[in-house]
Amino acid sequence: MELKLARDVKDNEKGFFKYISSKRKTRENMDLLLSGAGALVMKDTEKAELLNAFFASTFNGKTRPQESQTLETREEVWRKEDFPSVKEDQDRKKSSVTAVFKKGKKEDLGNYRPVSLTSIRGKMMEQLILKVISKHVEDKKVIRNSQHGFTKWKSSLTNLIASYDGITGWRDLDRLEHWAVRILMKINKGKCRALHLVKNNPMHQYREQPIFSTRAHVFHIDPNTKKNWVPTSKHAVTVSYFYDSIRNVYRIISLDGSKAIINSTITPNMTFTKTSQKFGQWADSRANTVYGLGFSSEHHLAKFAEKFQEFKEAARLAKEKSQEKMELTSTPSQESAGGDIQSPLTPESINGTDDERVTPEVMQNLDARAEPTQNVLPFTHSSTVSKHWEAELATLKGNNAKLTAALLESTANVKQWKQQLAAYQEEAERLHKRVTELECVSSQANVVHTHKTELNQTIQEFESTLKKKEEEIERLKQEIDSSRDLQAQRGSLTQKLQEVEIRNKDLEGQLSDLEQRLEKSQNEQEAFHNNLKTLLENLDGKIFELTELRDNLAKLVECS
């Protein structure tokens, strides 16, 4: 590769110098540092000593309050007969620190931050202490699950907050009704029941689903000109047929993001018209507009028109059935004799089912539109209706009273829970103090022996890991030595390459001189050829003149 780069250096200078730059790059752990005297420090050991002295000079010797307690004081608290003698390890006072560059000039010591590497022994002791405390808390049942403590994945007062949210969420019927409207659900205030359907609920799939869906470009007629089409979406959107089981009607709905661009109720008077092979329209008198749909193919248009006609016929049948039902509920029976007393209407026949209940105002409007002979109901009918509505009103009042009592009870419970919350917080503080005391008291001989055995095993494991790391370090050192040899070879090759470059430049100079000489000799040769041609032409002329002279002389000789 290097030989090829040397040969093609004239045509590929960029690749040649890129290769040279990549070979000259060296990575150092830390740049040169400036000592206090202003001298540059180059060796790694000198850099480490300089940084160590600088970091040590920034420590003020102050300790935190919990660390100011001496070993003698702690032995007096624990009592020597309860805790074995402790020998302070001087090696633990040593800390491994690495310097991390922040910003600014790299030779300035103040731009490096010391980062302490936590000792392996400290990590092991933390895990052992945490394990003992957690086991004691769980075995002795010091802290309940609803309180804050060492139990995993439990926040403070979880059950209390959940109960509080559960009760305050049902504060009154108005809030419940607003909530139901907001999530497009129904609430029956007479029975004070609400249906909760969230996405994680398995009954969520029984929500209203589209009967038929397709994709098309949606247009509205221009309300000003009534001639031009105005696009309501930049791209094709989903247009779906829905069946509203509450109102017993069919709808055409299309959404562009969160905006409803089509919300049309199909009536028996509507007509879907195909104006071209891929475009159709229908007029909606309720929305006072004309909708237009542009499909991607004629098949989609035909399918949409077929479904429109099908649901239009279903809407007509549903309307006829509803009219017949209204006539049956508002008109007395014609089969009985004229002089007989008609049978009283039951509350179910007046109100219908829970989903199709007719209010008294609607009944009055229907009665007003009926024939005069059918307007008057017997006294027994009106009394039955009034009794039914009185019973309904009494039920509502009872439910309202129950809800009011539940609200008052929840308010009282909230006050009580606030007091319990304060008590739980005090108990938590007391338990934290107790845990701190248990940390000192629970160090018995057998536990210490067990911990010592576990600690020895852990130390052995870490020693084996340390040996593996040392072997890996030796291997890395060998690789570093080999890389240094490669760097030396690379240096010699670089020097040879430079010599080749110098020789190449000399050869290029000689080549340019030879080219100039060749060009000069060619010019001289061309001039010589030109002179020779001129001489030949002159010689030919002289020869021709001599020939004429000879001929003339020969003629003269013959004549004489």
The string of pLDDT tens digits covering residues 280-301 is: 999 988 888 899 999 999 999 9
Rounded to the nearest 10°, the torsion over CA 271, 273, 278, 284 is -50
Burial of 314 (0-12, 13-18, 19+ CB in 10 A): middle
| Mean model confidence pLDDT for the chain | 72
pLDDT recorded at residue 117: 58
Average pLDDT of the residues in 222-250 = 85
User: CB atoms < 10 A from the CB of 526, how many?
Assistant: 10
Q: Which residues contact 270 (CB under 8 A, 6 or more apart)?
A: 282, 283, 284, 308, 312
Interval 527-546: pLDDT, tens? 999 999 999 999 999 999 99
- With a pLDDT cut of 90, the percent of the chain lying above it is 13
Confidence of residue 143 (pLDDT cuts 50, 70, 90): low
Q: Which helix (H) or strand (E) holds 556?
A: helix 445-559
More reliable by pLDDT, 322 or 458: 458
208-330 CATH fold: PH-domain like (2.30.29)
- pLDDT at residue 367 above 50? no
Entry pTM? 0.28
Written as six digits, the tokens of 433 are 């103090």
Domain ranges of the chain: 22-58+93-117, 208-330
- The rounded Cα 195 to chain-centroid distance in angstroms is 32
Residues facing 97 on adjacent strands: 116
Average pLDDT over residues 38-61: 74
Q: Return the DSSP state at 43.
A: S
Phi, psi (degrees; rounded to nearest 5) at 208? -65, 125
Q: Which amino acid is at 279?
A: F
At 344, the pLDDT band (50, 70, 90 cuts) reads very low
Q: Supply 83's token pair.
A: 């805790």
* DSSP bridge pairs for 115: 98
Rounded distance between C-alpha atoms, residue 103 and residue 35, angstroms: 18
The one-character DSSP state at 86 is -
Q: What is the pLDDT of residue 513?
A: 92
Is 296 strand, coil or helix?
A: coil
DSSP 8-state class, residue 33: E
Of all helices (H) and strands (E), which one includes residue 446? helix 445-559
Q: What is the pLDDT of residues 378-402, one digit of tens each?
A: 344 455 666 767 777 887 887 788 7
**Residue pair 124/455 in contact by the 8 Å Cβ criterion:** yes
Tell me how far apart the alpha carbons of residues 108 and 32 are, in angstroms, rounded to a whole number. 9
Confidence of residue 332 (pLDDT cuts 50, 70, 90): very low
Place of tokens 């509203």: 244
Residue scoring higher pLDDT (374 or 91): 91
